[in-house]
């Protein structure tokens, strides 16, 4: 079963997002196993991220790399909102 994980952290600017992506790539997690989609959206001074994951276990494994990176960026970390995917239509 797939899940949506939605992140909304205070102070997540486009510069901090670019830095996080660079660090994730350097750690070998630029395209982590189990993530189907990644969308960054919203105000460039306060971005939000929505991902679709194949399983919570795969997301939790990725979180071991992600969370220290986000913490080091000085973001106001909020608990992500999660929900089960009911349907996906491509195109």
Residue-wise pLDDT tens digits, 21-51: 999 999 999 999 999 999 999 999 999 999 9
For domain 3-84, give the CATH number: 3.30.70.100
The Cα 11–Cα 1 span in angstroms is: 32
| Selected residue with higher pLDDT from 35 and 91 | 35
Q: How confident is the model at residue 7 (pLDDT cuts 50, 70, 90)?
A: very high
Any idea what DSSP says for residue 54?
S
Q: Would you list the domain boundaries of the chain? A: 3-84
For residue 31, the model assigns a pLDDT of 97
90 has a pLDDT exceeding 90: no
């Amino acid at each position: 079963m797939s899940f949506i994980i939605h992140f909304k952290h205070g102070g997540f600017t486009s510069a901090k997002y670019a830095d996080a992506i660079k660090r994730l790539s350097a750690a070998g997690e630029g395209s982590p196993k189990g993530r189907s989609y990644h969308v960054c959206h919203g105000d460039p001074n306060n971005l939000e991220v929505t991902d679709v994951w194949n399983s919570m276990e795969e997301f939790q494994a990725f979180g071991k790399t992600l969370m220290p990176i986000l913490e080091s960026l000085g973001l106001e970390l909020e608990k992500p909102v999660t929900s089960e995917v009911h349907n996906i239509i491509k195109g």
